[in-house]
Amino acid sequence: MEQQLPNPQPTLLSDTPWLKRYPQGVPAEIDPDRFGSLVAMFEQSVTDFADNPAYRNFGRAMSYRELDRLSRHFAAYLQQGLKLQPGERIALMMPNLLQYPVCLFGALRAGLVVVNVNPLYTSRELAHQLKDSGAGTIVLLENFAGTLIEAMQEVRVDNVILTRMGDHLGQVKGGLLNLVVKYLKKMVPAYELPAAIGYRRALARGEAMTYRRPELDGDSLAFLQYTGGTTGLSKGAMLSHRNMLANVEQCLGVYGPMLEPGAEKVVTALPLYHVFALTVNGLLFLRLGAENLLITNPRDIPALVKSLTGYAFTCITGVNTLFNALVNNKEFQRHDFKSLKLTIGGGMSVQRVVAEQWQTITGCRLLEGYGLTECSPLVTVCPYDLEGYNGAIGLPVCSTQVRLVDESGERIRYSHTPGEMEVKGPQVMRGYWGQDGKEEGTFHDGWLRTGDIATLDEQGFLRIVDRKKDMILVSGFNVFPNEIEDVAMLHLGVLEAAAVGVPSELSGESVKLVVVKKPDHELDEKTLIDHCKQYLTAYKVPKVVEFRDELPKTNVGKILRRKLRDEAA
Protein backbone atom coordinates (compact mmCIF):
# COMPACT_ATOMS: atom_id res chain seq x y z
CA MET A 1 0.00 0.00 0.00
CA GLU A 2 1.71 3.10 -1.24
CA GLN A 3 0.96 5.42 1.67
CA GLN A 4 2.18 2.94 4.28
CA LEU A 5 5.17 1.09 2.81
CA PRO A 6 8.59 2.76 2.67
CA ASN A 7 10.50 3.06 -0.57
CA PRO A 8 13.88 1.51 0.30
CA GLN A 9 16.95 2.19 -1.78
CA PRO A 10 18.13 -0.94 -3.64
CA THR A 11 21.39 -2.51 -2.47
CA LEU A 12 23.61 -5.12 -4.09
CA LEU A 13 22.70 -8.60 -2.84
CA SER A 14 24.69 -11.76 -2.24
CA ASP A 15 23.46 -15.00 -3.85
CA THR A 16 22.01 -16.33 -0.55
CA PRO A 17 21.22 -13.42 1.80
CA TRP A 18 18.56 -15.53 3.59
CA LEU A 19 21.06 -17.91 5.22
CA LYS A 20 22.11 -15.24 7.74
CA ARG A 21 18.45 -14.70 8.66
CA TYR A 22 17.66 -18.36 9.38
CA PRO A 23 16.51 -18.78 13.00
CA GLN A 24 18.40 -20.94 15.47
CA GLY A 25 18.16 -24.63 14.66
CA VAL A 26 17.35 -24.23 10.94
CA PRO A 27 20.06 -25.86 8.79
CA ALA A 28 21.34 -24.42 5.52
CA GLU A 29 21.26 -27.86 3.91
CA ILE A 30 19.24 -31.06 4.35
CA ASP A 31 19.92 -34.64 3.32
CA PRO A 32 17.37 -35.58 0.63
CA ASP A 33 18.67 -39.17 0.71
CA ARG A 34 18.10 -39.83 4.40
CA PHE A 35 15.47 -42.39 3.38
CA GLY A 36 15.76 -44.49 0.25
CA SER A 37 12.07 -44.02 -0.58
CA LEU A 38 8.79 -42.79 0.86
CA VAL A 39 8.08 -46.41 1.73
CA ALA A 40 11.19 -46.52 3.92
CA MET A 41 10.11 -43.32 5.69
CA PHE A 42 6.62 -44.73 6.19
CA GLU A 43 7.97 -47.99 7.63
CA GLN A 44 10.12 -46.06 10.11
CA SER A 45 7.18 -43.98 11.35
CA VAL A 46 4.71 -46.85 11.75
CA THR A 47 7.38 -48.70 13.74
CA ASP A 48 8.44 -45.80 15.96
CA PHE A 49 4.91 -44.57 16.68
CA ALA A 50 2.94 -47.81 16.34
CA ASP A 51 0.51 -47.18 19.22
CA ASN A 52 -0.01 -43.47 18.56
CA PRO A 53 -3.14 -42.28 16.73
CA ALA A 54 -2.22 -41.42 13.14
CA TYR A 55 -5.52 -40.16 11.71
CA ARG A 56 -8.87 -39.19 13.17
CA ASN A 57 -12.09 -38.69 11.19
CA PHE A 58 -15.78 -38.65 12.20
CA GLY A 59 -14.73 -39.48 15.77
CA ARG A 60 -12.80 -42.62 14.76
CA ALA A 61 -9.05 -42.84 15.38
CA MET A 62 -6.67 -45.03 13.37
CA SER A 63 -3.31 -45.88 14.95
CA TYR A 64 -0.01 -46.11 13.10
CA ARG A 65 -0.06 -49.86 13.71
CA GLU A 66 -3.49 -50.14 12.07
CA LEU A 67 -2.41 -47.91 9.19
CA ASP A 68 0.59 -50.19 8.66
CA ARG A 69 -1.60 -53.31 8.63
CA LEU A 70 -4.37 -51.97 6.40
CA SER A 71 -2.05 -50.32 3.88
CA ARG A 72 -0.11 -53.60 3.65
CA HIS A 73 -3.35 -55.46 2.89
CA PHE A 74 -4.27 -52.89 0.24
CA ALA A 75 -0.79 -53.08 -1.31
CA ALA A 76 -1.02 -56.89 -1.44
CA TYR A 77 -4.38 -56.70 -3.18
CA LEU A 78 -3.03 -54.27 -5.78
CA GLN A 79 -0.04 -56.52 -6.41
CA GLN A 80 -1.62 -59.96 -6.27
CA GLY A 81 -5.32 -59.34 -6.85
CA LEU A 82 -5.08 -56.76 -9.64
CA LYS A 83 -1.61 -57.81 -10.83
CA LEU A 84 -0.38 -54.21 -10.98
CA GLN A 85 3.33 -53.72 -11.60
CA PRO A 86 5.65 -51.08 -10.09
CA GLY A 87 5.44 -47.86 -12.06
CA GLU A 88 1.80 -48.30 -13.09
CA ARG A 89 -0.47 -45.38 -12.23
CA ILE A 90 -3.39 -45.49 -9.81
CA ALA A 91 -5.86 -42.62 -9.40
CA LEU A 92 -7.25 -41.66 -5.97
CA MET A 93 -10.47 -39.63 -6.06
CA MET A 94 -11.83 -38.93 -2.59
CA PRO A 95 -11.98 -36.22 0.07
CA ASN A 96 -10.29 -36.43 3.47
CA LEU A 97 -11.38 -39.80 4.83
CA LEU A 98 -9.49 -42.55 6.67
CA GLN A 99 -9.54 -44.48 3.41
CA TYR A 100 -7.25 -41.94 1.76
CA PRO A 101 -4.03 -42.59 3.75
CA VAL A 102 -4.66 -46.34 3.59
CA CYS A 103 -4.90 -46.18 -0.21
CA LEU A 104 -2.10 -43.63 -0.56
CA PHE A 105 0.48 -45.58 1.41
CA GLY A 106 -0.83 -48.90 0.11
CA ALA A 107 -0.28 -47.72 -3.46
CA LEU A 108 3.22 -46.42 -2.68
CA ARG A 109 4.10 -49.68 -0.87
CA ALA A 110 3.04 -51.55 -4.01
CA GLY A 111 5.48 -49.42 -6.03
CA LEU A 112 2.72 -47.62 -7.91
CA VAL A 113 2.57 -43.99 -9.02
CA VAL A 114 -0.24 -42.06 -7.32
CA VAL A 115 -2.40 -39.74 -9.42
CA ASN A 116 -4.42 -37.52 -7.09
CA VAL A 117 -7.78 -36.44 -8.50
CA ASN A 118 -10.02 -33.65 -7.28
CA PRO A 119 -13.37 -35.32 -6.43
CA LEU A 120 -15.25 -32.28 -7.72
CA TYR A 121 -13.85 -32.62 -11.22
CA THR A 122 -16.29 -32.81 -14.08
CA SER A 123 -16.30 -35.94 -16.24
CA ARG A 124 -14.33 -34.05 -18.90
CA GLU A 125 -11.61 -33.07 -16.41
CA LEU A 126 -11.48 -36.59 -14.99
CA ALA A 127 -11.26 -38.15 -18.44
CA HIS A 128 -8.39 -35.84 -19.36
CA GLN A 129 -6.43 -36.72 -16.23
CA LEU A 130 -7.00 -40.47 -16.56
CA LYS A 131 -6.16 -40.44 -20.25
CA ASP A 132 -3.10 -38.23 -19.85
CA SER A 133 -1.68 -40.21 -16.91
CA GLY A 134 -2.59 -43.63 -18.27
CA ALA A 135 -4.06 -44.60 -14.90
CA GLY A 136 -5.92 -47.87 -15.47
CA THR A 137 -7.01 -48.21 -11.83
CA ILE A 138 -9.03 -45.78 -9.74
CA VAL A 139 -10.19 -45.70 -6.13
CA LEU A 140 -13.08 -43.33 -5.55
CA LEU A 141 -15.87 -42.44 -3.20
CA GLU A 142 -19.17 -43.78 -4.55
CA ASN A 143 -20.62 -40.25 -4.44
CA PHE A 144 -18.62 -39.54 -7.59
CA ALA A 145 -19.34 -42.78 -9.45
CA GLY A 146 -21.56 -40.95 -11.92
CA THR A 147 -18.66 -38.73 -12.95
CA LEU A 148 -16.49 -41.77 -13.56
CA ILE A 149 -19.17 -43.50 -15.64
CA GLU A 150 -19.39 -40.48 -17.93
CA ALA A 151 -15.58 -40.24 -18.14
CA MET A 152 -15.37 -43.93 -19.07
CA GLN A 153 -17.16 -43.11 -22.32
CA GLU A 154 -13.91 -41.39 -23.36
CA VAL A 155 -11.20 -43.35 -21.55
CA ARG A 156 -10.65 -46.97 -20.57
CA VAL A 157 -10.44 -47.86 -16.87
CA ASP A 158 -9.53 -51.47 -16.07
CA ASN A 159 -10.07 -51.53 -12.30
CA VAL A 160 -12.54 -49.57 -10.16
CA ILE A 161 -12.48 -49.75 -6.36
CA LEU A 162 -15.46 -48.08 -4.69
CA THR A 163 -15.57 -46.87 -1.10
CA ARG A 164 -18.33 -45.36 1.01
CA MET A 165 -18.11 -42.59 3.58
CA GLY A 166 -18.48 -44.86 6.59
CA ASP A 167 -16.23 -47.73 5.53
CA HIS A 168 -13.85 -47.27 8.49
CA LEU A 169 -16.39 -46.25 11.13
CA GLY A 170 -17.70 -49.65 12.21
CA GLN A 171 -20.84 -51.54 11.27
CA VAL A 172 -23.30 -49.43 13.28
CA LYS A 173 -21.90 -45.90 12.95
CA GLY A 174 -20.55 -46.46 9.45
CA GLY A 175 -23.74 -48.10 8.24
CA LEU A 176 -25.84 -45.26 9.63
CA LEU A 177 -23.63 -42.63 7.99
CA ASN A 178 -23.82 -44.42 4.65
CA LEU A 179 -27.62 -44.52 4.85
CA VAL A 180 -27.85 -40.83 5.76
CA VAL A 181 -25.47 -39.82 2.95
CA LYS A 182 -27.28 -41.92 0.35
CA TYR A 183 -30.95 -41.65 1.24
CA LEU A 184 -31.41 -38.61 3.49
CA LYS A 185 -28.87 -36.20 2.01
CA LYS A 186 -29.12 -37.84 -1.44
CA MET A 187 -25.40 -37.35 -2.06
CA VAL A 188 -25.01 -40.64 -3.94
CA PRO A 189 -26.70 -40.59 -7.36
CA ALA A 190 -27.83 -43.92 -8.81
CA TYR A 191 -25.06 -45.67 -10.72
CA GLU A 192 -24.15 -48.99 -12.29
CA LEU A 193 -20.56 -50.22 -12.12
CA PRO A 194 -20.99 -54.00 -12.06
CA ALA A 195 -17.29 -54.73 -12.47
CA ALA A 196 -16.26 -52.52 -9.52
CA ILE A 197 -15.02 -54.04 -6.29
CA GLY A 198 -15.85 -52.66 -2.87
CA TYR A 199 -13.01 -51.14 -0.84
CA ARG A 200 -13.66 -53.30 2.22
CA ARG A 201 -13.74 -56.43 0.07
CA ALA A 202 -10.42 -55.43 -1.50
CA LEU A 203 -8.87 -55.10 1.98
CA ALA A 204 -10.29 -58.46 3.04
CA ARG A 205 -8.90 -60.16 -0.06
CA GLY A 206 -5.53 -58.46 0.40
CA GLU A 207 -5.29 -59.75 3.96
CA ALA A 208 -5.07 -63.30 2.62
CA MET A 209 -2.43 -62.37 0.02
CA THR A 210 1.34 -62.02 0.24
CA TYR A 211 2.81 -58.53 0.13
CA ARG A 212 6.16 -58.14 -1.62
CA ARG A 213 8.16 -54.98 -0.96
CA PRO A 214 9.18 -53.50 -4.33
CA GLU A 215 12.65 -52.26 -5.24
CA LEU A 216 12.43 -48.48 -5.11
CA ASP A 217 14.97 -45.67 -5.03
CA GLY A 218 14.91 -41.91 -4.93
CA ASP A 219 14.51 -41.61 -8.69
CA SER A 220 11.42 -43.83 -8.75
CA LEU A 221 8.31 -41.87 -9.66
CA ALA A 222 5.95 -41.43 -6.69
CA PHE A 223 3.29 -38.97 -7.88
CA LEU A 224 1.84 -37.47 -11.01
CA GLN A 225 0.53 -34.36 -9.30
CA TYR A 226 -1.59 -32.38 -11.72
CA THR A 227 -1.50 -28.62 -11.80
CA GLY A 228 -4.75 -26.86 -10.99
CA GLY A 229 -5.74 -26.39 -14.60
CA THR A 230 -7.08 -22.88 -13.95
CA THR A 231 -5.09 -21.59 -16.96
CA GLY A 232 -5.78 -24.39 -19.41
CA LEU A 233 -5.42 -28.18 -19.51
CA SER A 234 -3.74 -29.46 -16.35
CA LYS A 235 -0.33 -31.12 -16.63
CA GLY A 236 1.12 -33.89 -14.51
CA ALA A 237 4.19 -32.81 -12.56
CA MET A 238 6.47 -35.84 -12.19
CA LEU A 239 7.45 -35.94 -8.52
CA SER A 240 9.91 -38.64 -7.52
CA HIS A 241 10.35 -40.26 -4.12
CA ARG A 242 13.47 -38.09 -3.68
CA ASN A 243 11.57 -34.90 -4.60
CA MET A 244 8.96 -35.58 -1.94
CA LEU A 245 11.44 -36.78 0.69
CA ALA A 246 13.56 -33.68 0.12
CA ASN A 247 10.58 -31.42 0.68
CA VAL A 248 9.61 -33.30 3.86
CA GLU A 249 13.16 -32.82 5.19
CA GLN A 250 13.03 -29.15 4.15
CA CYS A 251 9.76 -28.72 6.03
CA LEU A 252 11.31 -30.44 9.03
CA GLY A 253 14.32 -28.16 8.75
CA VAL A 254 12.31 -24.93 8.92
CA TYR A 255 9.48 -26.03 11.25
CA GLY A 256 11.25 -28.78 13.19
CA PRO A 257 12.58 -26.56 16.02
CA MET A 258 8.94 -25.92 17.00
CA LEU A 259 7.74 -29.52 16.79
CA GLU A 260 8.04 -32.54 19.06
CA PRO A 261 7.95 -36.04 17.53
CA GLY A 262 4.99 -38.09 18.71
CA ALA A 263 3.30 -35.14 20.43
CA GLU A 264 1.71 -33.01 17.71
CA LYS A 265 -1.95 -32.77 16.69
CA VAL A 266 -2.57 -31.20 13.28
CA VAL A 267 -5.84 -30.07 11.72
CA THR A 268 -6.10 -31.07 8.06
CA ALA A 269 -8.90 -29.05 6.50
CA LEU A 270 -7.15 -28.81 3.15
CA PRO A 271 -7.76 -31.93 1.05
CA LEU A 272 -4.88 -34.39 1.06
CA TYR A 273 -5.08 -34.73 -2.72
CA HIS A 274 -3.78 -31.14 -2.87
CA VAL A 275 0.02 -31.04 -2.91
CA PHE A 276 0.28 -28.55 0.00
CA ALA A 277 -1.65 -30.78 2.41
CA LEU A 278 -0.17 -33.94 0.87
CA THR A 279 3.40 -32.96 1.76
CA VAL A 280 2.93 -30.93 4.95
CA ASN A 281 0.00 -32.68 6.61
CA GLY A 282 0.21 -36.09 5.01
CA LEU A 283 3.97 -36.69 4.94
CA LEU A 284 5.74 -34.25 7.30
CA PHE A 285 3.43 -34.98 10.21
CA LEU A 286 3.54 -38.71 9.47
CA ARG A 287 7.34 -38.42 9.66
CA LEU A 288 6.84 -36.84 13.11
CA GLY A 289 4.31 -39.41 14.34
CA ALA A 290 1.62 -36.75 14.73
CA GLU A 291 -2.14 -37.18 15.01
CA ASN A 292 -3.96 -35.86 11.96
CA LEU A 293 -7.57 -34.64 12.29
CA LEU A 294 -9.10 -35.06 8.83
CA ILE A 295 -11.84 -32.59 7.89
CA THR A 296 -13.96 -34.11 5.13
CA ASN A 297 -15.89 -30.98 4.16
CA PRO A 298 -13.91 -27.80 4.96
CA ARG A 299 -16.57 -25.62 3.31
CA ASP A 300 -18.95 -26.37 6.18
CA ILE A 301 -17.32 -23.93 8.59
CA PRO A 302 -19.80 -24.47 11.48
CA ALA A 303 -19.20 -28.24 11.32
CA LEU A 304 -15.45 -27.71 11.09
CA VAL A 305 -15.47 -25.46 14.16
CA LYS A 306 -17.61 -27.97 16.04
CA SER A 307 -15.11 -30.75 15.27
CA LEU A 308 -12.38 -28.66 16.94
CA THR A 309 -14.28 -28.52 20.23
CA GLY A 310 -12.25 -30.31 22.86
CA TYR A 311 -9.47 -31.08 20.39
CA ALA A 312 -6.22 -29.53 21.64
CA PHE A 313 -4.61 -29.09 18.25
CA THR A 314 -1.06 -27.79 18.08
CA CYS A 315 -0.85 -27.09 14.33
CA ILE A 316 -3.17 -26.09 11.51
CA THR A 317 -2.63 -25.42 7.83
CA GLY A 318 -4.91 -23.63 5.39
CA VAL A 319 -5.45 -21.04 2.71
CA ASN A 320 -6.36 -17.40 3.26
CA THR A 321 -10.06 -17.97 2.60
CA LEU A 322 -10.24 -20.67 5.27
CA PHE A 323 -8.51 -18.53 7.88
CA ASN A 324 -10.72 -15.59 6.92
CA ALA A 325 -13.86 -17.67 7.42
CA LEU A 326 -12.62 -18.95 10.79
CA VAL A 327 -11.70 -15.55 12.25
CA ASN A 328 -15.17 -14.29 11.29
CA ASN A 329 -16.88 -17.22 13.04
CA LYS A 330 -17.98 -16.35 16.59
CA GLU A 331 -17.81 -19.94 17.83
CA PHE A 332 -14.24 -20.25 16.61
CA GLN A 333 -13.31 -17.03 18.38
CA ARG A 334 -14.34 -18.66 21.68
CA HIS A 335 -12.10 -21.69 21.17
CA ASP A 336 -9.20 -22.44 23.54
CA PHE A 337 -5.95 -21.92 21.62
CA LYS A 338 -3.46 -22.53 24.43
CA SER A 339 -1.97 -25.56 22.67
CA LEU A 340 -1.69 -23.95 19.19
CA LYS A 341 1.92 -23.19 18.24
CA LEU A 342 2.15 -23.43 14.45
CA THR A 343 -0.15 -22.02 11.75
CA ILE A 344 0.92 -22.35 8.13
CA GLY A 345 -0.76 -20.46 5.29
CA GLY A 346 -0.22 -21.24 1.62
CA GLY A 347 -1.92 -21.92 -1.71
CA MET A 348 -2.64 -18.22 -2.21
CA SER A 349 -1.51 -14.91 -0.72
CA VAL A 350 -2.29 -14.40 2.94
CA GLN A 351 -3.83 -10.97 3.45
CA ARG A 352 -2.56 -8.67 6.20
CA VAL A 353 -5.95 -8.14 7.82
CA VAL A 354 -6.56 -11.91 8.01
CA ALA A 355 -3.10 -12.66 9.42
CA GLU A 356 -3.42 -9.95 12.06
CA GLN A 357 -6.92 -11.04 13.07
CA TRP A 358 -5.72 -14.64 13.32
CA GLN A 359 -2.83 -13.66 15.59
CA THR A 360 -5.08 -11.48 17.77
CA ILE A 361 -7.68 -14.24 18.22
CA THR A 362 -5.39 -17.27 18.57
CA GLY A 363 -2.20 -15.73 19.90
CA CYS A 364 -0.35 -17.68 17.20
CA ARG A 365 1.48 -16.20 14.21
CA LEU A 366 0.18 -17.13 10.76
CA LEU A 367 3.35 -18.09 8.88
CA GLU A 368 2.91 -17.71 5.16
CA GLY A 369 4.66 -20.08 2.79
CA TYR A 370 4.95 -20.28 -0.96
CA GLY A 371 5.19 -23.24 -3.25
CA LEU A 372 4.28 -24.81 -6.55
CA THR A 373 3.06 -28.24 -7.53
CA GLU A 374 6.27 -28.49 -9.55
CA CYS A 375 8.31 -28.05 -6.34
CA SER A 376 6.64 -30.73 -4.20
CA PRO A 377 5.54 -27.91 -3.26
CA LEU A 378 7.43 -25.84 -0.65
CA VAL A 379 9.90 -23.18 -1.84
CA THR A 380 9.82 -20.48 0.84
CA VAL A 381 8.42 -20.08 4.37
CA CYS A 382 8.29 -17.31 6.92
CA PRO A 383 10.69 -18.13 9.78
CA TYR A 384 9.19 -19.37 13.03
CA ASP A 385 10.71 -16.47 15.02
CA LEU A 386 8.84 -13.82 13.03
CA GLU A 387 6.88 -11.60 15.40
CA GLY A 388 3.99 -10.95 13.06
CA TYR A 389 2.82 -10.46 9.48
CA ASN A 390 5.39 -8.72 7.28
CA GLY A 391 3.87 -9.16 3.83
CA ALA A 392 6.53 -11.65 2.74
CA ILE A 393 6.24 -15.24 1.56
CA GLY A 394 9.31 -15.94 3.65
CA LEU A 395 12.86 -17.15 3.09
CA PRO A 396 13.91 -19.95 0.72
CA VAL A 397 13.85 -23.31 2.52
CA CYS A 398 17.00 -25.33 3.19
CA SER A 399 18.96 -26.58 0.15
CA THR A 400 17.01 -24.26 -2.15
CA GLN A 401 18.32 -21.61 -4.51
CA VAL A 402 16.09 -18.75 -5.65
CA ARG A 403 16.91 -15.98 -8.09
CA LEU A 404 15.01 -13.16 -9.81
CA VAL A 405 15.46 -12.44 -13.50
CA ASP A 406 14.38 -9.60 -15.74
CA GLU A 407 12.52 -9.95 -19.04
CA SER A 408 15.75 -10.70 -20.90
CA GLY A 409 16.58 -13.52 -18.49
CA GLU A 410 19.39 -11.64 -16.75
CA ARG A 411 19.73 -12.08 -13.01
CA ILE A 412 18.61 -9.14 -10.89
CA ARG A 413 21.31 -8.32 -8.37
CA TYR A 414 19.69 -5.45 -6.49
CA SER A 415 17.18 -5.65 -3.65
CA HIS A 416 13.54 -4.57 -3.98
CA THR A 417 13.68 -4.84 -7.81
CA PRO A 418 10.82 -6.94 -9.24
CA GLY A 419 11.65 -9.92 -11.39
CA GLU A 420 10.41 -13.39 -12.27
CA MET A 421 11.29 -15.93 -9.57
CA GLU A 422 13.25 -19.01 -10.60
CA VAL A 423 14.01 -22.00 -8.37
CA LYS A 424 16.57 -24.79 -8.04
CA GLY A 425 16.59 -27.54 -5.44
CA PRO A 426 16.14 -31.27 -4.79
CA GLN A 427 12.35 -30.78 -4.54
CA VAL A 428 11.99 -29.52 -8.14
CA MET A 429 10.13 -31.93 -10.43
CA ARG A 430 11.72 -33.96 -13.22
CA GLY A 431 9.34 -32.40 -15.75
CA TYR A 432 5.78 -32.81 -16.99
CA TRP A 433 4.42 -36.26 -17.79
CA GLY A 434 4.25 -37.04 -21.49
CA GLN A 435 5.93 -33.83 -22.62
CA ASP A 436 8.91 -35.67 -24.15
CA GLY A 437 11.17 -32.71 -23.50
CA LYS A 438 8.71 -30.27 -25.05
CA GLU A 439 8.77 -28.05 -21.97
CA GLU A 440 9.98 -24.84 -23.51
CA GLY A 441 9.49 -22.00 -21.09
CA THR A 442 9.32 -24.26 -18.02
CA PHE A 443 13.07 -24.30 -17.33
CA HIS A 444 15.67 -21.60 -17.92
CA ASP A 445 19.31 -22.76 -17.77
CA GLY A 446 18.29 -25.53 -15.37
CA TRP A 447 16.16 -23.23 -13.17
CA LEU A 448 12.41 -23.74 -12.87
CA ARG A 449 10.51 -20.67 -14.03
CA THR A 450 7.67 -19.97 -11.61
CA GLY A 451 5.80 -17.29 -13.54
CA ASP A 452 5.61 -15.26 -10.33
CA ILE A 453 6.93 -11.73 -10.05
CA ALA A 454 8.69 -11.08 -6.75
CA THR A 455 11.13 -8.82 -4.94
CA LEU A 456 13.99 -9.84 -2.65
CA ASP A 457 15.22 -7.71 0.26
CA GLU A 458 18.53 -7.52 2.11
CA GLN A 459 17.56 -10.22 4.63
CA GLY A 460 16.43 -12.64 1.95
CA PHE A 461 12.68 -12.16 2.37
CA LEU A 462 10.75 -12.63 -0.87
CA ARG A 463 7.52 -10.78 -1.60
CA ILE A 464 5.21 -11.79 -4.43
CA VAL A 465 4.13 -8.86 -6.52
CA ASP A 466 1.83 -11.10 -8.56
CA ARG A 467 1.41 -13.74 -11.19
CA LYS A 468 2.50 -12.68 -14.66
CA LYS A 469 -0.80 -13.76 -16.13
CA ASP A 470 -2.84 -11.92 -13.48
CA MET A 471 -1.12 -8.59 -14.05
CA ILE A 472 -3.40 -5.76 -15.17
CA LEU A 473 -1.99 -3.32 -17.73
CA VAL A 474 -3.48 0.17 -17.35
CA SER A 475 -2.20 2.74 -19.86
CA GLY A 476 1.15 0.94 -19.96
CA PHE A 477 1.45 0.71 -16.17
CA ASN A 478 1.54 -2.64 -14.37
CA VAL A 479 -1.15 -3.08 -11.72
CA PHE A 480 -0.94 -6.09 -9.42
CA PRO A 481 -4.25 -7.52 -8.14
CA ASN A 482 -2.82 -8.48 -4.73
CA GLU A 483 -2.18 -4.83 -3.91
CA ILE A 484 -5.74 -3.80 -4.82
CA GLU A 485 -7.23 -6.71 -2.85
CA ASP A 486 -5.16 -5.95 0.24
CA VAL A 487 -6.37 -2.35 0.21
CA ALA A 488 -10.01 -3.41 -0.24
CA MET A 489 -9.70 -5.85 2.68
CA LEU A 490 -8.73 -2.97 4.97
CA HIS A 491 -12.34 -1.77 4.80
CA LEU A 492 -14.29 -3.20 7.72
CA GLY A 493 -17.24 -4.09 5.48
CA VAL A 494 -15.28 -6.33 3.08
CA LEU A 495 -15.18 -10.07 3.69
CA GLU A 496 -13.48 -11.16 0.44
CA ALA A 497 -12.16 -9.34 -2.61
CA ALA A 498 -10.73 -10.15 -6.03
CA ALA A 499 -9.32 -7.67 -8.55
CA VAL A 500 -9.17 -8.35 -12.29
CA GLY A 501 -8.48 -6.43 -15.45
CA VAL A 502 -11.34 -5.65 -17.83
CA PRO A 503 -11.16 -4.15 -21.34
CA SER A 504 -11.14 -0.34 -21.54
CA GLU A 505 -11.20 1.82 -24.68
CA LEU A 506 -9.31 4.58 -22.87
CA SER A 507 -6.58 2.67 -21.04
CA GLY A 508 -6.46 -0.79 -22.59
CA GLU A 509 -7.52 -2.31 -19.28
CA SER A 510 -9.05 -0.96 -16.11
CA VAL A 511 -9.43 -2.46 -12.65
CA LYS A 512 -12.61 -4.22 -11.62
CA LEU A 513 -13.10 -5.21 -8.00
CA VAL A 514 -15.44 -8.07 -7.08
CA VAL A 515 -16.40 -8.06 -3.41
CA VAL A 516 -18.26 -10.15 -0.85
CA LYS A 517 -19.59 -7.93 1.94
CA LYS A 518 -19.64 -8.93 5.58
CA PRO A 519 -23.14 -9.82 6.80
CA ASP A 520 -25.34 -6.94 7.93
CA HIS A 521 -22.85 -4.32 6.77
CA GLU A 522 -23.84 -1.38 4.60
CA LEU A 523 -21.36 -0.83 1.79
CA ASP A 524 -21.79 0.63 -1.69
CA GLU A 525 -19.61 1.10 -4.74
CA LYS A 526 -18.79 4.77 -4.14
CA THR A 527 -17.79 4.21 -0.53
CA LEU A 528 -15.39 1.42 -1.45
CA ILE A 529 -13.87 3.32 -4.38
CA ASP A 530 -13.33 6.35 -2.11
CA HIS A 531 -11.67 4.03 0.38
CA CYS A 532 -9.29 2.72 -2.30
CA LYS A 533 -8.41 6.28 -3.36
CA GLN A 534 -6.86 6.82 0.07
CA TYR A 535 -4.19 4.22 -0.60
CA LEU A 536 -3.76 3.90 -4.37
CA THR A 537 -2.68 6.13 -7.24
CA ALA A 538 -5.45 7.01 -9.69
CA TYR A 539 -4.68 4.38 -12.36
CA LYS A 540 -4.83 1.60 -9.74
CA VAL A 541 -8.18 2.60 -8.26
CA PRO A 542 -11.02 0.26 -9.30
CA LYS A 543 -13.33 1.79 -11.86
CA VAL A 544 -16.08 -0.77 -11.19
CA VAL A 545 -17.11 -2.60 -8.02
CA GLU A 546 -19.38 -5.63 -8.19
CA PHE A 547 -20.92 -7.14 -5.07
CA ARG A 548 -21.56 -10.89 -4.91
CA ASP A 549 -22.68 -13.44 -2.37
CA GLU A 550 -19.54 -15.51 -3.01
CA LEU A 551 -16.44 -15.62 -5.18
CA PRO A 552 -15.60 -18.53 -7.49
CA LYS A 553 -12.94 -20.75 -5.90
CA THR A 554 -11.07 -23.97 -6.44
CA ASN A 555 -11.90 -26.85 -4.13
CA VAL A 556 -9.09 -25.78 -1.79
CA GLY A 557 -10.44 -22.24 -1.56
CA LYS A 558 -8.18 -20.43 -4.02
CA ILE A 559 -10.02 -17.57 -5.72
CA LEU A 560 -10.34 -18.08 -9.47
CA ARG A 561 -9.43 -14.72 -10.96
CA ARG A 562 -9.48 -16.25 -14.43
CA LYS A 563 -13.16 -17.08 -14.13
CA LEU A 564 -13.92 -13.52 -13.08
CA ARG A 565 -11.91 -12.19 -16.02
CA ASP A 566 -13.71 -14.49 -18.44
CA GLU A 567 -17.09 -13.41 -17.08
CA ALA A 568 -16.16 -9.74 -17.36
CA ALA A 569 -14.94 -10.24 -20.93
Q: Determine whether 508 is exposed, middle or buried from the number of CB atoms within 10 Å of its CB (0-12, 13-18, 19+).
A: middle
Do residue 162 and residue 61 come from a single domain? yes
Q: How far is CA 89 from CA 92, 115, 533, in A?
A: 10, 7, 53
Q: Say what the pLDDT of residue 231 is.
A: 39
β-bridge mates for residue 449, sequence order: 422
Q: Say what the pLDDT of residue 93 is.
A: 98
For residue 473, the tally of other CB atoms under 10 A from its CB is: 12
Do residue 463 and residue 478 come from a single domain? no
Alpha-carbon span 41 to 203, nearest angstrom:
23
For residue 485, what is the domain's CATH number?
3.30.300.30
pLDDT in tens, the chain (569 residues): 333 445 678 899 999 999 999 999 999 999 999 999 999 999 999 999 999 999 999 999 999 999 999 999 999 999 999 999 999 999 999 999 999 999 999 999 999 999 999 898 888 889 999 999 999 999 999 999 999 999 999 999 999 999 999 999 999 999 999 899 988 989 898 999 999 999 999 999 999 999 999 999 999 999 999 985 433 468 999 999 999 999 999 999 999 999 999 999 999 999 999 999 999 999 999 999 999 999 999 989 999 999 999 899 999 999 988 999 999 999 999 999 999 999 999 887 888 999 999 999 999 999 999 999 999 999 999 999 999 999 999 999 999 999 999 988 999 999 999 999 999 999 999 999 998 655 667 999 999 999 899 999 999 999 988 777 787 888 767 788 888 999 999 999 999 999 999 988 777 889 999 999 999 888 999 999 999 998 888 889 999 999 999 999 987 888 989 889 888 77
Q: Say what the pLDDT of residue 440 is.
A: 67
**Boundary of a domain, candidates 441, 468, 495:** 468
Q: Say what the pLDDT of residue 60 is.
A: 97
| Residue at 481 is within a domain | yes
Do residue 159 and residue 294 come from a single domain? no
| Residue at 163 is within a domain | yes
| Residue at 40 is within a domain | no
Residue 86 is part of which domain span? 54-216
Q: Determine whether 487 is exposed, middle or buried from the number of CB atoms within 10 Å of its CB (0-12, 13-18, 19+).
A: buried
| Residue at 326 is within a domain | yes
Q: Say what the pLDDT of residue 36 is.
A: 97
| Residue at 349 is within a domain | yes
Do residue 208 and residue 63 come from a single domain? yes
Do residue 278 and residue 153 come from a single domain? no
Do residue 484 and residue 438 come from a single domain? no
154 closest CA partner among 132, 171, 176: 132
| Phi/psi-derived region of residue 87, left when phi > 0, alpha when psi is between -120 and 50, beta in every other case | left
| Residue at 390 is within a domain | yes
Do residue 323 and residue 175 come from a single domain? no
Q: To 10 degrees, what angle do helices 481-489 and 525-533 make?
A: 110
Q: What is the largest CA-CA distance in the chain?
A: 73
| Residue at 228 is within a domain | no
- In the chain, the number of structural domains is 3
For residue 123, what is the domain's CATH number?
3.40.50.980
